Amino acid sequence: MKDMLVQVEPLIPALRRYARALMRDRAAADDLVQDCLERAVSRWHQRRDGSVRAWLFTILHNLAITQFRQATARGRHMPIDDAGEQELASAAAQEQRLIYQDVLSKLAKLPEEQRSVLLLVAVEDLSYADAAAVLNVPVGTVMSRLSRARERLLQEMDGVAPGNVVVLRSLK
Amino acid sequence: MNQRPITEDDLHAYVDQALEPERRAAVASYLDNHPDVAGRVAAFATQREQLRGALASIVDEPLPAELNLSHIIEGRKRRPRWAGGMVAAMLLIGLGGLGGWTMHGLLQDGSNGLSSLAQEAAYSYSVFAPDHVRPVEIKASNSAEFAQWATTRLKQPVKVPDLSASGYRLMGGRLVPTSHGPAAMFMYDDDRGNRLVVLTRPMSNRDLATPMMPQSTGDVAGFVWAEAGMGYTLVGQLPGDTLKPIANEIRKQARPI
């Protein structure tokens, strides 16, 4: 169990981040991570060789998917996280915060399979092969989902990004 | 030089910094010559940075107590034993509450406590013998360890009966809760999958010694007796004349030499 502690503990913050980004609710996300860790402890000796990181994300991802399906079956809406209402001093920091909130709410509009792949690859730095293992799909599927996720998020962001306003003005 | 065409996958790998240096340079020079594609790739890169930035603070938060891995590992080590006991205890309560599920036979008086022991064995049999996942908590391979543990918990010497001469192999055992404290349960099976349960615990009368008596509850039947203050019972779903010689064997082995 000592090697498990050494290998798993440093990954917990990243697991929380992935769970939070998927669930958009702090308590629900942490519950999911706790479930994931309990499973990891009980199945530590059953894991196959390979990346512990990918193994943990696989457990977490499957738990999240199960939750989504149950939530959909119950017709419940995913709660939206307030992300903490702390005051931000500078205007620049405030603007940054608005951009961040915007990208997260746009991300939430993506289909679940596109959202997971984008988070695993672009935020959690999983290799394409590891992401494929987590999602249990071929690498080719990871690539096509990633491409669709990025295009769609770009479309969502269009029309509100400051850059676009400039483009529209320049057309006059 | 044979330049492979740039693919959509290359563009994403470029954004994700997942390309070999050589390929990365090839994509970079392609983008230099294709500003429209470069614009898209730059937008993907910005998107990536925004996502990372928006979620970055989460990894710096202190971990809540319930995500402390050491605690989870500790909790895991303690749980199975406790959970097994609780299930047995709850089922005992549940079964005890069912009217009509009562002991029959020669043991209705309960004066010497053997009727309770017989009932406990029947409960243990109905709970654990049909269990395909975990009928015993401690496997036969650790029977010496189990005997030691049971001896400590029952505060009486506990020996694991050897029924191999009768064609029954030890599967293992567990401690089960009774209203008189812990009892040691041993489970055996034969080649046809018939299972037997032996339950033993100290009796409240520390000198109790009784002859062997038949008992039955529903379709679980067997024998119960006491020797030097220890109560013993053997139960199973087999006819009495099959069980009787096995009970005699247990009695013989349990006698202090």
| Separation in Å, CA of A103 to nearest CA in chain B | 7
Nearest-neighbour CA in chain A from B43: distance (Å): 7
Alpha-carbon distance B236 to B122, whole Å? 8
Tell me yes or no: is domain B104-254 CATH 3.40.50.2300.
Answer: no
Contact B69 A150 (CB under 8 A): no
- What local confidence, expressed as pLDDT, does residue B113 receive? 82
DSSP label of B98: S
A44 in contact with chain B, both atoms CB, cutoff 8 A:
no
Chain B positions in Cβ-Cβ contact with residue A59 (cut-off 8 Å): none
A41 touching B (Cβ < 8 Å):
yes
Type of residue numbered B12: H
Q: Residue B198's pLDDT band (boundaries 50, 70, 90)? A: very high
| B165-193 residues labelled b (16+ CB within 10 A) or e (exposed) | ebebebbbbbbbebeeebbbbbbbbeeee
Asked whether the predicted pLDDT for residue A89 surpasses 70, the reply is no
Per-residue model confidence (pLDDT) at position A75? 55
- pLDDT tens, residue by residue, B35-73: 999 999 999 999 999 999 999 999 999 999 999 999 888
Question: A133 with A58: CB under 8 angstroms?
Answer: yes
C-alpha B91/C-alpha B84 separation (Å) is 11
pLDDT at B236 over 60: yes
Higher pLDDT, B192 or B8: B8
Q: Is the confidence at residue A137, as pLDDT, over 70?
A: yes
Distance (Å, whole) CA B254 – CA B157: 10
Which residue, among B170, B93, B168, has the nearest Cα to B159 in the 3D structure? B170
pLDDT of res. B97: 41
- Check: CB of residue B176 under 8 Å from CB of residue B199: yes
> For the segment A98-134, what is each residue's pLDDT rounded down to a tens digit?
888 889 999 999 999 999 999 999 999 999 999 999 9
> Which of A33-37, B207-211, B226-230 bottoms out in mean pLDDT, i.e. has the lowest?
B207-211
Q: Give the start-end residues of each E strand in chain A.
A: none
Give the closest residue to A35 by CA, choosing from A61, A53, A2: A61
Residue B89 has pLDDT above 80, yes or no: no
Task: Give me the total of CB pairs closer than 8 Å, taking one residue from chain A and one from chain B.
Answer: 90
**Domains of chain A by range and CATH?**
1-80 (1.10.1740), 89-161 (1.10.10.10)
Q: Measuring CA to CA, which residue among B178, B179, B186, B191 is closest to residue B235?
A: B186
Q: CA-CA distance, A152 to A155, in Å (whole number)?
A: 5
Scanning every residue of chain A, which has its alpha carbon at the shortest distance from the alpha carbon of B79?
A42
Indicate if the pLDDT at residue A85 is higher than 50: no
Contact A37 B16 (CB under 8 A): no
For residue A161, the model assigns a pLDDT of 47
Q: Is the pLDDT of residue B92 over 70?
A: no
* Cβ–Cβ gap B76/A42 under 8 Å: yes
Within 8 A of A4 by CB-CB distance, chain B residues are 69, 73
B44, B61, B66 member nearest A34 (Cβ): B66
> Shortest Cα distance from A39 to chain B (angstroms)?
10
Three-point CA angle A84, A117, A125, nearest 5°: 75
- Can you tell me the distance from the alpha carbon of B24 to that of B14, in angstroms, rounded to the nearest whole number? 6
Beta strands at B104-105 and B138-139: parallel, antiparallel or unpaired: unpaired
Whether the predicted pLDDT of A29 surpasses 90: yes
Long-range contacts of A64-72 (CB under 8 A, 24+ apart): A64/A19, A64/A22, A64/A23, A64/A32, A65/A112, A67/A23, A67/A28, A67/A32, A68/A112
Tokens of B168: 């029954």
Handedness of CA A44, A46, A52, A55 (dihedral sign): negative
Domains of chain B by residue range = 8-60, 104-254
Quote the pLDDT of residue B87. Answer: 53
pLDDT above 60 (res A76)? no
A5 touches chain B (CB under 8 A): yes
CB-based contact A99 B50, cutoff 8 Å: yes
The pLDDT of A29-45, averaged and rounded, is 91
**Quick one: what percent of chain A has pLDDT higher than 90?**
55
Compare B208 and A49 and report the one with higher pLDDT.
B208
Which has the minimum average pLDDT: A85-89, A118-122, B75-79, B112-116? A85-89
CA distance to partner chain B, nearest, from residue A45 (Å):
13
Residue with tokens 């394409």: A128
A161 in the Ramachandran plot: left (φ > 0), alpha (ψ -120 to 50) or beta? beta
More confident residue, A64 or B133: A64
> A39-43, A89-93, B22-26, B152-156: lowest mean pLDDT where?
A89-93
pLDDT band at A152 (very low <50, low <70, confident <90, very high): very high
Extract the tokens encoding B216: 């039955």
Strand partners, B213: B224
Ranges A49-53, A73-77, B208-212: which has the least confidence: A73-77
pLDDT in tens, B98-125: 433 334 333 444 447 888 888 889 989 9
Weakest-pLDDT range from A100-109, B64-73, B88-97, B229-238: B88-97
What mean pLDDT value characterizes chain B?
Answer: 84
Sign, CA torsion A101/A105/A108/A110? negative
Mean pLDDT of B170-182: 90
Pick among A12, A31, A37, A102 to test the B interface (most B CBs inside 10 A):
A37
| The pLDDT value given to residue B205 | 83
- State how far the Cα of B173 lies from the Cα of B188, in Å rounded to an integer: 9
Please list, residue by residue across A19-45, b when 16 or more beta carbons sit within 10 angstroms of its beta carbon and e when fewer do: bbbbbbbbebbbbbbbbbbbebbeebe
Asked if A100's CB is within 8 angstroms of B72's CB, the reply is: no
d(CA B222, CA B214): 6
Cα–Cα distance measured from residue B180 to residue A90, given in angstroms and rounded to the nearest whole number:
71
Asked if A103 is an interface residue toward chain B (Cβ–Cβ < 8 A), one would say: yes
| CB neighbourhood size of B152 (10 A) | 11
- pLDDT value at position A88? 45
Instruction: Tell me, yes or no, if A38 comes closer than 8 A to chain B by beta carbon.
Output: yes
Provide the token pair at A146.
């990633």
The more confidently predicted of residues B108 and B28 is: B28
Please tell me which of the candidates A9, A37, A100 has its beta carbon nearest to residue B50: A100
pLDDT score for B194: 85
- Does this model's pTM top 0.80? My answer is no
User: Can you name the residues that pair with B225 across neighbouring β-strands?
Assistant: B232
Q: Find which of B36, B72, B134 to mutate to test the A interface (most A CBs within 10 Å of its CB).
A: B72
Instruction: Identify the H or E element spanning B220.
Output: strand B220-227
Contacts of A131 by beta carbon, 8 Å cutoff, 6+ apart: A117, A120, A121, A142
Q: What is the dihedral of CA B204, B207, B211, B214, to 10 degrees?
A: 10
In the prediction, which pLDDT does B91 show?
Answer: 53
